[in-house]
Amino acid sequence: MLIFDAAVAFYETEAQHGLVRHQRILTYVAEVARAGSIRRAAERLNITPSALTRQIQDVEYELGTPIFERLPQGMRLNAAGELLARHIRDQAADLDRVRSQIADLSGVRRGHVALACSQAFVTQTVPEEVEAYRARYPQVGFTVQVRDHAQAVAALTAFEADLALVLEPPPSADLHPLYSGHQPLCALMRAGHPLAAVDGPVRLRECLTHALALPDRSLAIRHHIEQALARRGVGLRPAVESGSLEFLRNLVLREDLVSLQIPSGIPDDPCLRSRPIDARDLTPMTVYLAQLRGRLLSVAAAKFADQLAARLNRQPLQARARAERTSEDG
């Protein structure tokens, strides 16, 4: 056991040094690429331009090739530079994964999970699952980024997130699905709204006769609604639109408006009522939990992905049970 502990300590020391160096190099390279010049990048990094130039030159000398194109309008990564940036990100991700596995073997549950997710999942689903996971493994940290579907995929490919939980993701060969399912869009209103007087599915045309509070075009839900209506030649004129699902939920509690959201984003509030939109009018939306294809997840991220996928598999049953309770309360 002492030998194992010593090996772990040695590995972590060496790994930390290597990781710090990789992160520093990636920071320098990424900042020059982003800024487009050594001078602007040096200002942002708070080092001298000459020191930054030496760092870049050292990397190019070590590789035996330039990694930047020097252009009249500035600098940008060439093909070799793009490969280097991806290699460093891969190395850092692999290092995190192995360190997490070693910690797991030694009985110390630790690590970090980065999740990019759509707004619809940050009300209940993600907070509840993070809480449950950290109750078992309190040394595991989390970064949760609220992103639209395209931004969440970009976060995966940039190694800014381990996992993405999104609605209607754009087609991408970079995605490896861990869960795929469907959730219906629901009409959401306060308990005293006329549509709340009846249980069960509601036709979309009924909703359109009432004032609407809808997600704006930055969200996948709005695109899904507009595509369905466009096929029928029907336009939308919402009374209120917003990029915040939470704002819309709070607003329908205050006046007789109807919003459209998925069950995962609807809190268990006795003052709210929800009815699924008839599938003849709006097909269910695709829910996708994914990782970057070819990337090996850390132990912590893989365990959390399994837990989250299990929750998503249970959610349709929970939604039906909640609807039954709401019906009984009404």
Q: What is the mean pLDDT of the chain?
A: 85
Q: Which residue has the tokens 């595991």?
A: 140
Angstrom CA distances, 140 to 143, 281, 301, stand at 10, 43, 10
pLDDT above 80: residue 116? yes
pLDDT above 50: residue 7? no
- So what's the pLDDT on residue 10? 36
Closest CA to 195 of 277, 265, 283: 277
Q: What is the CATH number of the domain that holds 8?
A: 1.10.10.10
Of all residues in the chain, the percent with pLDDT exceeding 90 is 50
Tell whether pTM > 0.85: no
Q: How far apart are CA 77 and CA 92, in angstroms?
A: 20
| In a shared domain, residues 26 and 103 | yes
| In a shared domain, residues 137 and 48 | no
pLDDT above 60: residue 324? no
pLDDT above 60: residue 314? yes
Query: Which of 16-25, 99-108, 189-198 has the largest mean confidence?
Result: 189-198
Mean pLDDT across the stretch 154-171? 91
| In a shared domain, residues 258 and 203 | yes
Mean pLDDT across the stretch 122-129? 94
**Domain range enclosing 14:** 1-107
- So what's the pLDDT on residue 3? 33
Angstrom CA distances, 277 to 37, 223, 225, stand at 53, 16, 11
Helix (H) or strand (E) holding 165: strand 163-167
Q: How far apart are CA 167 and CA 219, in angstroms?
A: 9
| In a shared domain, residues 272 and 294 | no
> How many domains is the chain partitioned into structurally?
3
End position of a domain, from candidates 107, 132, 163? 107
Helix (H) or strand (E) holding 85: helix 79-105
Q: What is the torsional sign of CA 149, 151, 153, 159? A: negative
